[in-house]
Structure 1
Amino acid sequence: MFDFDALSQAIARQTVLCVGDLMLDEFVYGEVSRISPEAPAPVIAVQRSETNIGGAGNVARNIASLGATCIFVGLVGEDAAGAQLKSALSREPRVESVLVADPARPTTRKARFVSEHFSTHMLRADWEQAAPAAGETEKRLIDAALPLIARADIVLLSDYAKGVLTARVIRNLIDAARKQGKRVIVDPKSLNFAIYRGATLLTPNRKEFSEATRSRADTTESIAQAAQDAMQLADCEAILVTQSEHGMTLVPRKGEAIHVPAVPVKVRDVSGAGDTVAAVLAATLAAGADWDTVLRMAAAAAAVAVGKKGTATVAREELRRKILPHAYLAAEEKIVSSDADLRAQVVEWRKQGLRVGFTNGCFDILHPGHVKVLTAARAACDRLIVGLNSDASVRRLKGEGRPVQNERARAEVLAALEAVDLVAVFDEDTPLRLITEIRPSVLVKGGDYTRETVVGHEIVEEAGGTVVLVDTLPGHSTTSLVERAKGDDKKKTDDKVKDVTGVKA
């Protein structure tokens, strides 16, 4: 298991230069209940529509949604669709767009008509001019993109064969990137892989790869064999063949092929899944991940994307949930990071008619006494929230040298207990603010307290709640454990001194 959080932090420090075919994606959703009397064609009763940044623009959005910065270079016409895309891109956080306008071309636009009930694409209408960009426009694209390579950690070419990535544009970008030591990923559309010569990684889908290599490409072995000649032709380090529900296969120039199966998921819409994969590949490679990690991230991201409707992006947290083991997430999700999250969860539980309980403590070194109190507290309510003193709070209450474990470690240990439903860290010396916020039905403390000395008992009882005191286990306390550990350490030190000197310390 790789460290997802460390990788995410590394991704957030990366900048990806993405150059490719920008388009406006429109989705029209409705129901079909009859055939037109004018012609044998279904009639869709439109219920709603939405527009998204599509094509290479969706790649840029996905890069940004992962936390990286994207510099995007694309082409638009001087029309309403182009103006809409410019405006939409300007609102995208972490995306810096550099758009070349060509008045002689329409902005590429695709409208998909979708049956809402069956989630079936019935028809797609395209407005586009797929011919290569004219010479002057090519030059403007090259002039716009080349100076940006120096600012990027990696370059991504997203080719939809709509005219932006001409042979001239591709050659200039790859050569300049290689000269500056920058890796280049290409999501290719041309079946002539030679025009991408010098790229680091090509990512064709199975159909594109099969046609380009004239191979069946139906097994890992056949893909690996056909990829060798293709890599020689393209002078690339690796080829990744994406295969939809059959996963993806990476063939490196050196080493064995790696196949990663698709992550099981209910598919709602495959639109834009390739964009998501390309974005994840670029961001994770730029962050220094190895091939195995890159593939696992890409496969998980594809699963998230196809589970959404329309041209979708994948957020870092969605990817995190898909990758990390369920048991780890189940514990981690119990730790609330804000008062707003805490309030929302309490409101939701109360809507369900559940009794919310509360207890609190430092829980520095979890011991049987803690477990007894927490188990009894959970038995007295339907959902138990544990207030946890922050590191600063523990230090003020217990003195220097405490806590032994930081607040994150203490929160994770508590959250892993079945009796605990939520952990909320507080920085004050007492949990009074949390109790006022939650107004629990049950307030639980150990039996070494009396009802009158339990912080917040007035608030709880005034709201109709109860205070429950749980008998503690004698001989169990964090302070005694810490003192005992210090005593053991001192005895070991004294024994070592005596062994060396022959004199008792």
Structure 2
Amino acid sequence: MFDFEALSHAMASQTVLCVGDLMLDEFVYGEVSRISPEAPAPVIAVQRSETNIGGAGNVARNIASLGARCIFVGLIGEDEVGVRLAVTLAQEPGVESLLVHDPSRPTTRKVRFVSEHFSTHMLRADWELAVPASGDIEQKLIDTILPQISRADIVLLSDYAKGVLTARVIRNVIDAAKKLGKRVIVDPKSANFAIYRGATLLTPNRKEFSEATRSRADTERSIADAAQDAMQLADCEAILVTQSERGMTLVPRHGEAIHVPAHPVKVRDVSGAGDTVAAVLAVTLSAGADWETALRMASAAAAVAVGKQGTASVTSAELRRKILPHAFLAAEEKIVAAGAGLEAQLSEWRQQGLRVGFTNGCFDILHPGHVKVLTAARGACDRLVVGLNSDASVKRLKGESRPVQDERARAEVLAALEAVDLVVIFEEDTPIRLITAIKPSVLVKGGDYTRDQVVGHEIVEAHGGEVLLIDVLPGFSTTTLVNRARGDKG
């Protein structure tokens, strides 16, 4: 296990120069319930739409969302879509955009029609002119890019084959970067890897790699074998082949291939997942990560990205939650408020098919009896949510002299336990509203209760859940401990 905190801190001080094809991604969501009477085509009843910065612009967004700084160079037309992209990019924190205008082409726009219920892409409409930039635009791109290389720690070329990364632009950027000792990562589109000659790392997907190497690329061994010739042709240090649910295989010029399996996750939308991978690789390698560490970070980020709708960016906090075993999360990250924060985490767990358990209490002074119940509760589920009475609630239940510790202190102590995955503070005297919101698969209480005495048992059982009573550890009570500490033997 690498030191995530140290790497994350180092990532925040990096600057990435990203060059590539900018586009506007629009997602139109709706429901399909009938076929058009005019033609054998489904009719989508539009419910909502979203627009995002796409293509290489999404790479830039991901770089910035990880806490690094991005200098972005792209190409737009002189049209309304280009204006929208320019304005939106200017508002992105951490992104400095330098856009070249080409009046001879439209700004690339992609509109995807998506079934809201099934998260299925039904149709994509593209507005674009996918031809190489003209000679004068090429020169404007080169003149814009080259002065920025010295300001960057690493260079990332995001090629969508829309005209920005011509052979001449690529050659000028890679040669200039090498002279300054800067590494270059390329997310390639061309099947001719030779045009990227001198880059540090190429990151094709399996289809792109197979076409470029004329290999099946269906096993780690076949990928490793085909990559050797490709690396000779491209004179690069490594090739990373992304394979969706099969994971990622990185083949270095010297040394053994490294394969990282994909994280198990319910895929909602793969749009932009490759952008996320490229961004994470650039930022982590720039921050000093080795190949395997960068690869594991990229794999975790891809899992976060495909679990979101639309063209998504990934934050450092989301990456941390995905890559670290749950028990290693910082205590403060396990403490959430009832509402959106709780629902977001529950939604993620439900998408993964995890069994959620719930227990609650004041936990004023944590003792072995509490630990036994919490440990047993966690053993009955995949993720354990603990409802914690607020200070005001404890006073009403236990008297004016309680609690001994305030709610934040009690929450942090609970969150520090490996058995606890989430702590939610509630204001009411009972957790009935919390249980209604969570609908846990298992509701756990100490064995000093009967099933009918457990608050929320009817809600849980109505949804097919179960109530679990854990035998209490005799001789332990918070009230007894408090009295003993105060010298009261009664």
TM range (shorter): 0.7 to 0.9
Counterpart of 1:469, as a letter, is: T
2:289, 2:368 → 1: CA distance? 44
2:284 and 2:294 in contact (8 A); partners too: yes
1:187, 1:419 → 2: CA distance? 40
Counterpart of 2:11, as a letter, is: I
2:240, 2:64 → 1: CA distance? 22
1:415 and 1:422 in contact (8 A); partners too: no
Which residue matches 2:218? Answer: 218
Shift of 1:319: 1.1
Aligned: 1:469 with 2:474? no
Deviations 1:104-144 (A, max 9, x none): 11000011111112211111111101110011111111111
Shift of 1:439: 8.8
Shift of 1:474: 7.8
Which residue matches 2:416? Answer: 415
Which residue matches 2:192? Answer: 192
SS of the equivalent of 1:285 reads helix
C-alpha change, 1:253 and 1:332, in structure 2 (3 Å) is: same
C-alpha change, 1:438 and 1:199, in structure 2 (3 Å) is: same
Deviations 1:470-502 (A, max 9, x none): 236989xxxxxxxxxxxxxxxxxxxxxxxxxxx
Which residue matches 2:362? Answer: 357
- Aligned mate of 1:371, from 342, 367, 371: 367
C-alpha change, 1:345 and 1:155, in structure 2 (3 Å) is: closer
Aligned: 1:260 with 2:244? no
SS of the equivalent of 2:150 reads helix
2:364, 2:53 → 1: CA distance? 48
2:327 and 2:421 in contact (8 A); partners too: no
Which residue matches 2:102? Answer: 102
2:275, 2:221 → 1: CA distance? 26
Which residue matches 1:327? Answer: 327
Shift of 1:334: 3.8
Which residue matches 2:311? Answer: 311
1:133, 1:420 → 2: CA distance? 52
2:148, 2:248 → 1: CA distance? 31
2:120, 2:159 → 1: CA distance? 26
1:376, 1:197 → 2: CA distance? 60
1:231, 1:303 → 2: CA distance? 27
C-alpha change, 1:95 and 1:474, in structure 2 (3 Å) is: same
Larger Rg: 1
Which residue matches 2:472? Answer: none
Shift of 1:374: 6.5
1:184 and 1:201 in contact (8 A); partners too: yes
Counterpart of 1:276, as a letter, is: T
C-alpha change, 1:347 and 1:50, in structure 2 (3 Å) is: closer
C-alpha change, 1:263 and 1:373, in structure 2 (3 Å) is: closer
2:420, 2:191 → 1: CA distance? 58
C-alpha change, 1:386 and 1:325, in structure 2 (3 Å) is: farther
Which residue matches 1:134? Answer: 134
1:138, 1:417 → 2: CA distance? 56
2:24 and 2:108 in contact (8 A); partners too: yes
TM-score computed with the length of structure 2 as normaliser: 0.74
Shift of 1:415: 2.0
Structure 1 residue ranges without an equivalent (≥5): 361-369, 388-406, 425-436, 443-466, 476-505
Which residue matches 2:36? Answer: 36
Which residue matches 2:59? Answer: 59
Q: How does 1:220-239 map to 2 (within 5 A)?
A: 220-239=220-239
2:132 and 2:166 in contact (8 A); partners too: yes
2:263, 2:47 → 1: CA distance? 32
Aligned: 1:284 with 2:301? no
Shift of 1:356: 5.8
Provide the aligned length of Structure 1 versus Structure 2.
Answer: 400
Counterpart of 1:116, as a letter, is: E
SS of the equivalent of 1:359 reads coil
2:116, 2:13 → 1: CA distance? 40
Which residue matches 1:301? Answer: 301
2:422, 2:161 → 1: CA distance? 52
Which residue matches 2:86? Answer: 86
Shift of 1:269: 0.9
1:24, 1:211 → 2: CA distance? 27
Q: How does 1:145-184 map to 2 (within 5 A)?
A: 145-184=145-184
1:346, 1:303 → 2: CA distance? 20
Shift of 1:312: 0.7
C-alpha change, 1:54 and 1:421, in structure 2 (3 Å) is: closer
1:377 and 1:384 in contact (8 A); partners too: no
1:385 and 1:422 in contact (8 A); partners too: no
Aligned: 1:250 with 2:250? yes
1:156 and 1:185 in contact (8 A); partners too: yes
Which residue matches 1:462? Answer: none
Counterpart of 2:417, as a letter, is: A
2:430, 2:414 → 1: CA distance? 25
Counterpart of 1:138, as a letter, is: E
Counterpart of 1:99, as a letter, is: L
SS of the equivalent of 1:471 reads helix
Counterpart of 1:115, as a letter, is: S
Which residue matches 2:27? Answer: 27
Which residue matches 1:457? Answer: none
TM-score computed with the length of structure 1 as normaliser: 0.72
Shift of 1:20: 0.0
Counterpart of 2:37, as a letter, is: P
SS of the equivalent of 1:470 reads helix
Deviations 1:180-202 (A, max 9, x none): 00000000011111110100000
Shift of 1:213: 0.9
C-alpha change, 1:372 and 1:245, in structure 2 (3 Å) is: closer
Counterpart of 2:205, as a letter, is: N
